[in-house]
Amino acid sequence: MRGAGMTVLLVSAVAGLISSRYGLTIRPDVLIDQVLPAGPPKLVIVSGGHACASALMTGPRTHQLIDTTLSSGGYIAAMASAQTAVSGAGIPAPPLRPRFMTQGRLELGDFVSQLTNLTLGPF
């Protein structure tokens, strides 16, 4: 997505380094509290495993970000491992909310291309 010229931010609900279950350590670009005042993003992608996404979806700030994004014409996307957690948190599936997309069985590269085309248009 960065290669397509999109501004991409890794957003976290907590400060500090985050370690994956596979040992990868990352530093988020911003906290969710910093995103909300900056205006609604065009796209929010919920990633992570089911446990991570479930924890994220319990926070009211996450719901506020999702609601703000959707109400301003933006999109919400859930990676395959986060789909159940996002849907279970009350974010309806595509037939009920057309601006919510899930990876489903798409390969990651195809899903990212679909999201990039959706937000930027074909290039």
The predicted-structure confidence for 95-106, as pLDDT tens digits, reads as follows: 556 788 888 888
Sequence-distant (6+) residues with CB within 8 A of 51 are: none
Distance CA 7, CA 83 (A): 24
Residue 123: its pLDDT value, please? Answer: 43
Phi then psi dihedrals of residue 99, to 5 deg: -95, 10
Lookup: tokens for 95: 């037939």
Distance CA 123, CA 69 (A): 24
Residue 117: its pLDDT value, please? Answer: 83
Beta bridge partners, 72, equal: none
pLDDT per residue over 42-64, tens digit each? 888 888 777 778 888 888 888 88
Determine the average pLDDT of the residues in 19-46.
86
Claim: this prediction has a pTM higher than 0.75: yes
How would you classify the pairing of strands 25-26 and 18-19? Answer: antiparallel
